[in-house]
Structure 1
Amino acid sequence: MMKVLIAGGGIGGLAAALSIAHHGHEVVVLERRDTFSELGAGIQLGPNAFHALDHLGIGAAARQSAVHIDELRFMDGTTGQRVASMPLTGAYRTRFGNPYAVVHRGDLYQALLDGCVAQRNITLNTDCSVIRYEQDPGSVTAITGTGRRFTGSALIGADGIRSAVRGQLVGDGAPRVSGHTIYRSVIPMERVPRELRWNTVTLWAGPKWHFVHYPIGSGKFLNLAATRDDGARDVVAGRPAERTRVLSEFPALSDTARQLLELGADWKEWVLCDRDPVERWTDGRVTLLGDAAHPMLQYAAQGACMALEDAVLIGQLLAGAAGDIPQRLEKYNSERYGRTSTVQQVARAMGEQLYHPSADAAAARNAMLSSLTVDELYDKVAWLHGARIGGTGEHR
């Protein structure tokens, strides 16, 4: 048995801890905050995420609070026209082997945390902000901001988009500010008119903006997320936003979408950031995972899904004896890079080409999407939703 250190106790870090612990190793999680908790609102999970959660042994727990969505809807946000819809029941679940669901981020996190607490070979440490590492041929040491030192056989940097581990390993500076501001609100479903309580993920696309909503918390809440391509350059994370300001940012919304947006309360705003893909995120006994390795914009709804896939694969590759750790981590890096870099690039492209075009470009987008059959829509997402851990082939 070897000891694996994980910097960061978010979704990716806890998933990696579970995966590695299931293969018999000792895991030490180093979380910078004073508690293990997760901020945020709704999160979308494709079938590939549920494949990973099942590998981690918490698929059933994650499904308990998840809302299994019936349909993805793409709407023209200015005209109110339904452009395209992809059913997510029946043939979709048969083809991809699992549902498409939405959860509250905190509910998914709690399932992961409960799984870790139940594992005797996982130690969870708070107030441990990893700021750098040292390594020699036989071990690696994580050093915290208070000077504490933790030594193990490997270190996984799962410390997010502003990862200190990445800063030392890759050294590519601050994240790229996308220029997109997102406003988020979660409201009780009882406030939503019954005729608008759709069991769908619905996206309303407009010129340099879009609005998404879907149920979470076992259907008890509605998650609202409205995004503007406003050229924002300053990093903002979770700052309160006045309701009147949010509403004023989306004056061209069609009637139904406007009705839903106006239900929002206690809005908070973020300025979205990502990074360019990097081919190498492993250094000897140190590697990166999730947002520390491949942070992406929200537009493919795959950030958490990619972290869960990372976690399962790294557990598989570290199974067995403690030898050849650098080579195993290199293999993890090489197997994940192609897929995750593609998703990073696709997420950016979706924002530009699908969510935010205007005028003739928007009309061309609508014509293209509306021409696709359901089977053609499934074919478009098969590489992403149908992947299983350890490879990227479509599930059949």
Structure 2
Amino acid sequence: MTQTGDALQPIVIAGAGIGGLTAALALRQQGHEIVLMDKAAGLSEVGAGLQLSPNACSVLDRIGVLDALEPHVCAPDYLRIRSGKSGRQLGRVRFGDFLKERHGFPFWVIHRADLQRVLLERVERTPGITTRLATEVLGLEPSPYDHLSCIYQNDEVTANLACKALVGADGVWSRTRRIIPGHENARFSGQVAYRATIPIEAAPANWRKDSGLWMHRDSHLVHYPVRGGRELNIVGLAEEAWRDETWSARADTKTVLHVFRDWPSEVRTLLGKAENWLKWALCSVDASGPWTHGHVALMGDAAHAMLPYMAQGAAMAIEDAAVLARHLPPDIGNIPAALRAFERERKPRVTRIQGIAFRNAKVFHYSGIREFARDTVLNLSDPETLAARFDDVYGWSPSD
């Protein structure tokens, strides 16, 4: 089906998370009418901190929100890598001005809620974008007169909306993904993440500015400042079975301290200061699977949810939004072909970065001789060389 007389019909985006909000703004810049639907009655924080590397910031700059984010971010000078067994520093990765000068955009860390709020505020101020909360997309089907109809449910009432495409940005448990023939469900990785934030004053001085990565057998820890430096985001990741009835659950401090029981006292003391822990099952969606079918395309976690061991999950969704918009210019005629081209362009990069994250999941948890070899390489590498290893990840921009 080609688009001829329905240029004013909207593109429907299922999911108003970071990927969906970014896609709404990017597609609106191309002149499309946008209807953004989310099953949540209100958009609230999910998770805690995330990292905005230069490749993500290049897109956020293009859609006009980078300056609005700056009051909420921190720009660490280094990622300091330490041993979760001995506590000693193994190496440093140069961030800060080095990455900004190298790639043209900053490396920031931010609270997820702050990023989502800035994007949502811009969406709400942008004519041509309509947001419908408490509304779940159920499917897409042909309707009379050679048009498409998005089926959605709102307050237990099922209705239709004529549209020209459906973008599934509805996350790791995407309902839109069911429309794509040959899709696979998300899979539990065998690892979980414990997340919390604490006031920055509760953290030791050497934890307050830079990002930290601590590696140990079968577990590791990440921390960095968020909320403009007012809070410290802490994420503890461990290999563990999942026994809860839902894919996220509350966890108490006693449980977290048990998981990290053989870690240095400095770490355990800090973990003990956090009161409100959330536990998340880490799940992934194989990026090599199908993303598109006719007038439907998946993006972000719906297409390629990845483990957080390269800190590129949000960045890949943000990149997806920019590339999708580029493939859908205002005068697009053959939308299915454009969506297939979007998939062909994005899939190699996302699949490769997903693979890096899977490999890091093993490398971070090495023990024995492999741990010794890893630590030796880190000790012998200078901070700039370690940062340059990711040039192909961080150096991407929407014009690539």
What TM-score, normalized by structure 2, do the two folds share? 0.93
Q: Give 1:54-65 correspondences, 5 Å limit.
A: 54-65=61-72
Instruction: Select the residue among 123, 135, 138 that pairs with 1:128.
Output: 135
**Corresponding residue number in structure 2 for 1:394:** none
Structure 2 gap ranges (5+)? 1-6
Rounded to whole Å, the distance in 2 between the matches of 1:149 and 1:265 is 45
Query: Does structure 2 conserve the Cα–Cα contact (< 8 Å) formed by 1:133 and 1:165?
Result: no
Query: Does structure 1 conserve the Cα–Cα contact (< 8 Å) formed by 2:285 and 2:305?
Result: yes
**Corresponding residue number in structure 1 for 2:296:** 286
Q: Give 1:216-235 correspondences, 5 Å limit.
A: 216-232=226-242
**Corresponding residue number in structure 1 for 2:114:** 107
Q: Deviations over 1:202-248 (max 9, x none)?
A: 01100000111111000111111111112436664331111111101
Q: Deviations over 1:263-312 (max 9, x none)?
A: 22111111110022224311111101111111101111001101111111
Instruction: Select the residue among 357, 363, 372 that pairs with 2:381.
Output: 372
Determine whether 1:22 maps to 2:33: no
* Counterpart residue identity of residue 370, structure 1: N
Instruction: Select the residue among 13, 17, 32 that pairs with 2:20.
Output: 13
Instruction: Select the residue among 157, 172, 191 that pairs with 1:180.
Output: 191
Q: Label 1:231 to 1:357 Cα distance change in 2 as closer, same or farther (>3 A).
A: farther
Instruction: Select the residue among 150, 162, 165 that pairs with 1:151.
Output: 162
Rounded to whole Å, the distance in 1 between the matches of 2:250 and 2:371 is 31
**Corresponding residue number in structure 1 for 2:89:** 82
**Corresponding residue number in structure 1 for 2:216:** 206
Q: Offset at 1:162?
A: 1.2
Query: Does structure 1 conserve the Cα–Cα contact (< 8 Å) formed by 2:284 and 2:307?
Result: yes
Q: Secondary structure at the match of 2:362?
A: helix
Q: Deviations over 1:354-396 (max 9, x none)?
A: x1111211111111222223332133110111111142xxxxx
Q: Give 1:1-396 correspondences, 5 Å limit.
A: 1-2=7-8, 3-135=10-142, 138-145=146-153, 146-193=157-204, 195-232=205-242, 236-353=246-363, 355-391=364-400
Q: Label 1:234 to 1:133 Cα distance change in 2 as closer, same or farther (>3 A).
A: farther
Rounded to whole Å, the distance in 1 between the matches of 2:98 and 2:280 is 36
RMSD: 1.7
Q: Secondary structure at the match of 1:265?
A: coil
Rounded to whole Å, the distance in 1 between the matches of 2:244 and 2:398 is 37
Identity of aligned residues (%): 33
Rounded to whole Å, the distance in 2 between the matches of 1:323 and 1:172 is 26
Q: Secondary structure at the match of 2:369?
A: helix
Number of residue pairs aligned between Structure 1 and Structure 2: 389
Query: Does structure 1 conserve the Cα–Cα contact (< 8 Å) formed by 2:196 and 2:233?
Result: yes
Rounded to whole Å, the distance in 2 between the matches of 1:135 and 1:377 is 52
* Counterpart residue identity of residue 78, structure 1: K
Query: Does structure 2 conserve the Cα–Cα contact (< 8 Å) formed by 1:15 and 1:308?
Result: yes
Worse overlay, 48-57 or 251-260 = 251-260
* Counterpart residue identity of residue 297, structure 1: L
Q: Offset at 1:34?
A: 0.8
Rounded to whole Å, the distance in 1 between the matches of 2:370 and 2:260 is 19
Structure 1 gap ranges (5+)? 392-396
Q: Offset at 1:73?
A: 1.3
Rounded to whole Å, the distance in 1 between the matches of 2:161 and 2:43 is 19
Q: Label 1:10 to 1:67 Cα distance change in 2 as closer, same or farther (>3 A).
A: same
